[in-house]
Amino acid sequence: MKLNSAIRHDDIPKILEFHQIFSDRTMPVAPAKAGTFITRASPAYRRAGMALFLAGFATFSLLYCVQPLLPVLSRQFGIGAAASSLSLSLSTGALAIAILVAAALSERAGRRELMAMSMVVSALLNIAAAWAPTWPLLLLARMAEGFALGGVPAVAMTYLAEEIHPRELGLAMGLYVSGTAFGGMIGRVGTGILTDALSWRPAMAIVGAAGLIAALGFLALLPPSRNFTRRHGLGARHHFDAWGRHLHDPALPALYGVGFAVMGTFVTIFNYAGYRLMAPPYDLDQTRLGLLFSVYVFGIASSSIAGGLSDRMGRGRVMTAGIAIMAAGILLTLAGALPAIVAGIVLLTVGFFTTHAVASGWVGRLALADRGHATSLYLLAYYLGSSIAGSVGGWWWSGLGWNGVAAFT
């Protein structure tokens, strides 16, 4: 099988090192015995791939199911756009923090156990948020849900790198990544359709129930760890020292800034496009607004293409092109015609995934040591961009309308 450009053979050492972020070593792990790896010929390989697909699907459908509901939440609770966006921003902010600590917990609790617990708890919290009687209680449930969700992205690739034979890791990784992309899209599109058919509370509860079913499937399918040994991690000082070295690197902070900015821009546009398109003269219903998120498929394709282009043209050029495409898309959304707005959102999506694919891979290549710590800082900046800019953009929408949102981003 030809490996997807986003998951190349030379990425495998970086993935292996990520699971050392909180372990008692900073060098790559010693290879497991050949007989303990899961190979593609075994039924366990298919079970592991499907289990991680379900994990990715559940995590990102739960995280992003509220995004198309922001205008609905504003009406339901009598709040502004910025306040409504907190239902997503608090979740992504908590997720950013959780990623830093979840890997440490997995060293003691176990990979499989932590992921399963994260999926079950986050699904239950999404159901609780759906039936929360007050806005503060809904926000509390969503923030706790975001923190619980951190156990999956922090540990999933580590499990695969430990258990799957290195020569056959690409397909398994691809299934997990496909699950995250599919979950992010279905969580948005499905919630919009269900809200029109039922209402927003049953829609969120159904997404939570789907997450629970996915968690049960995950537990039934995922093979037990063969190459994992419970161990104590290094002290906090080691981790803070490693993070400090990366923050003083001459190049890495700029890439962290790129991750913060592009994710913040992407989420802000999608957060407030709903308010614009559900109002006159467009008057889109919740179903058609939800379908707008299907443009996500263009991003999935562009992230794959970006890796190959960066190898041929250089990472800097491709990343700059991605940012320029995002800017062009934002400008196009200023047009009044609905087709032009949709085309602008497509361009924004392509530019975002292109930039993110290059920037995230570049971080791992620039970090000479403790690459896992460098990657975790990028993810922290990435999700904080979503959390902070996604809410601040609401003030611009409330004060200046779509022109304000475009100027802010």
What would the pLDDT profile of 272-319 be if each residue is shown by its tens digit? 998 999 888 998 888 888 888 888 788 777 776 776 677 678 888 989
Please report the sign of the dihedral spanned by the C-alpha atoms of residue 41, residue 44, residue 45, residue 46: positive
Nearest in space to 361 (alpha carbons), one of 395, 298, 314: 314
27 backbone φψ class: left, alpha, beta (φ>0; ψ -120 to 50)? beta
Percent of the chain with pLDDT over 70: 83
Alpha-carbon distance 282 to 272, whole Å?
14
Interhelix angle for 169-197 vs 151-163, to 10°? 150
Q: Which domains does the chain have, with CATH numbers?
A: 9-408 (1.20.1250.20)
Residue where the block lists tokens 């921003």: 89
The average pLDDT across 385-405 equals: 91
The average pLDDT across 323-349 equals: 94
Q: Residue 253: pLDDT above 60?
A: yes
Residues 6+ apart with CB under 8 A from 362: 255, 315, 319
How many of the other CB atoms lie within 10 Å of CB of 337? Answer: 9
Q: How far apart are the first and last CA of the chain?
A: 40
Confidence of residue 81 (pLDDT cuts 50, 70, 90): very high
Q: Residue 42: pLDDT above 60?
A: yes
Q: What is the largest CA-CA distance in the chain?
A: 64
